[in-house]
Amino acid sequence: MFRPRALLFCLVTAFLVAAFPVDICVGDTDAEALLLEVDGRLQPECYEAYRKLINIEPDGRRKEFVLYSAKKGRDKVIALFLEPASEKGRATLRLGDNMWLYIPNVGRPLRITSLQSVTGGIFSNSDILRLDYSQEYSVVDQAEDGAHMVLTLQAKTKAVAYDRLKMWVDQEQKLPHKTECYAATGMLIKTLHFKDIKDFGEGIRRPSVIETDSPLHKGYRSVMVFGEIKPRSFEEEVFTLSFLPRVDSLR
């Protein structure tokens, strides 16, 4: 028998439960300034970029994806798949901890989780739609390792994809050399290797290649290559669900 009141109660309860998540906060440390500098060198606050993702299988077979992405401020990122044809028009939006995926055939944005991989392979959504490290993590420990400063970063909230990062930062260039990503259980999920520092112009000099491997995917490797990255300002409304089908018009 249909009970509209009971159903309404369930919907309201589900919404209230959803509206009050539990957050954890970690305090600042002296190395926060170094992390901010790393962020500033890796990506301007507002920019557009063209990237290629390459998944490499153990037998050497490769599958490639080309993305256009735009970022505004500390917590708004959008990415549009340009190639291959099977992924063309697929767009992802990130506003802080919220992520949505728009697939042209589906025709409406769906909420997704930051841990999922849109492309297959080792890069997750949060890698592709990465925010500033200092936006999501606090430095909880630091140690010197030769030419590198090793920062241990703790996620500020439970909504962040990786609970803890261990980042090797080149002390001279103030750029990351390697980052290990850990789950809350302490399990190593993946390692990012930053390579091939390139001058992209307009004051942006950063690694152009990020190679990723994961003990969860033995023999598989993923690579992210930056083809172009340049500062550009966008209106706030670009980073909304309504705009997802129109991201291509930014190019």
Query: Is 243 an interacting residue with respect to other proteins (CB under 8 A)?
Result: yes
Query: Is 143 an interacting residue with respect to other proteins (CB under 8 A)?
Result: no
Query: Is 27 an interacting residue with respect to other proteins (CB under 8 A)?
Result: no
Asked if 114 and 96 count as a contact pair (C-beta separation under 8 A), the reply is no
Query: Is 98 an interacting residue with respect to other proteins (CB under 8 A)?
Result: yes
How far is residue 105 CA from its own chain's centroid?
24
Please choose, out of 128-136, 141-149, 165-173, 231-239, the segment that lies near other proteins by the rule CB under 8 A: 231-239
Query: Is 183 an interacting residue with respect to other proteins (CB under 8 A)?
Result: yes
For other proteins, which residue of 33, 143, 147, 187 counts as binding (CB under 8 A)? 187
Least distance to other proteins, CB of residue 235, Å: 5
Return the number of other C-beta atoms located less than 10 Å from residue 59's C-beta: 6
Q: Residue 111 or 144: which CB sits closer to other proteins?
A: 111
Query: Is 140 an interacting residue with respect to other proteins (CB under 8 A)?
Result: no
Query: Is 233 an interacting residue with respect to other proteins (CB under 8 A)?
Result: no
For other proteins, which residue of 113, 147, 202, 205 counts as binding (CB under 8 A)? 113
In the block, tokens 């789950």 appear at 183
Largest Cα–Cα distance of the chain, in whole Å?
71
Least distance to other proteins, CB of residue 30, Å: 29
Whole-number Cα distances in Å, 133 to 82, 219, 235: 26, 28, 23
For other proteins, which residue of 27, 107, 144, 146 counts as binding (CB under 8 A)? 107
Segment holding 18, helix H or strand E? helix 4-19
Q: Residue 138 or 214: which CB sits closer to other proteins?
A: 214
Q: State how far the Cα of 186 lies from the Cα of 181, in Å rounded to an integer.
A: 9
Query: Is 146 an interacting residue with respect to other proteins (CB under 8 A)?
Result: no
Q: Residue 20 or 30: which CB sits closer to other proteins?
A: 20
Asked if 25 and 156 count as a contact pair (C-beta separation under 8 A), the reply is yes
For other proteins (CB under 8 A), the number of binding residues is 92
Q: State how far the Cα of 222 lies from the Cα of 55, in Å rounded to an integer.
A: 4
DSSP letter (8 states) at residue 150: E
- What residues between 43 and 82 interact with other proteins by CB under 8 A? 50, 52, 54-57, 61, 63-64, 66, 82
Least distance to other proteins, CB of residue 64, Å: 8
Peptide bond into 84 cis (omega under 30): yes
For other proteins, which residue of 142, 171, 173, 191 counts as binding (CB under 8 A)? 191
Query: Is 11 an interacting residue with respect to other proteins (CB under 8 A)?
Result: yes
Q: State how far the Cα of 4 lies from the Cα of 2, in Å rounded to an integer.
A: 6
Residues 229, 234, 236, 238: is their CA dihedral positive or negative?
Answer: negative
